């Protein structure tokens, strides 16, 4: 679930209250009355799949081919950081699938960690009755 009452617009936030079993407040509407401001949001952290990652030792000066990234469910953005020392430029894309570009490996004398991050999918359900 998303957090309760985030933002300044009650019609655009989540009204699901964790103290109320993730339900909105109870309201009785009379015939013909309409209140579209009750809604509930949730997010799901995507799984990140990394394909075509070299599993053997990469020698300095060798070309590391494109590394294929897929997220499920579809993320809004994918980014990668931390590879500058080995020749991989940080980057990002607004999509759920991408290729981290190929690069020429540089020599380093330590372990390097590249972090891949994907933003989650956010959904908002509105009461339309």
pLDDT, tens digit (0-9, with 9 covering 90-100), for 9-22: 666 667 777 677 66
The secondary structure of the chain as a DSSP string is -PPBT-SS-TTSSB--BGGGTTB----PPPTT---TT-EEEEEEPPEEEEES---S---TTPEEPPEEEEEESPPS-EEEES-GGGTPPPEEESSSEEEEPPEEPPP-SS----EEEEPPEEEEEE---
Most confident of 22-26, 33-37, 43-47, 103-107: 103-107
Q: Residue 42's closest CA among 23, 7, 16, 77?
A: 16
| pLDDT tens figures, 61-108 | 999 999 999 988 777 789 999 999 999 999 999 888 899 999 999 998
Question: Strands across the sheet with 91-93, in order?
Answer: 91-93, 78-81, 115-118
Q: How far apart are CA 79 and CA 118, in angstroms?
A: 7
Average pLDDT over the chain, rounded to an integer: 79
Between residues 122 and 7, the one the model is more confident about: 7
Cross-strand pairs, 118:
78
């Amino acid at each position: 679930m998303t957090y309760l009452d985030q933002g300044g617009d009650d019609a655009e936030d989540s009204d699901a209250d964790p103290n109320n079993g993730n339900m909105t407040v109870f309201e009785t509407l009379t015939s013909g009355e309409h209140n579209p401001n009750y809604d509930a949001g949730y997010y799901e952290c995507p799984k990140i799949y990394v394909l075509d990652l070299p599993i053997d030792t990469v020698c300095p000066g060798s070309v590391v081919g494109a590394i294929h990234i897929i997220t499920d469910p579809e993320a809004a953005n994918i980014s990668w950081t931390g590879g500058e020392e080995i020749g991989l430029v940080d980057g990002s894309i607004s999509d759920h699938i991408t290729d981290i570009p190929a690069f020429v490996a540089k020599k380093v004398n330590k372990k390097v960690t590249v972090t891949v991050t994907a933003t989650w999918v956010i959904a908002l359900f509105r009461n339309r009755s």
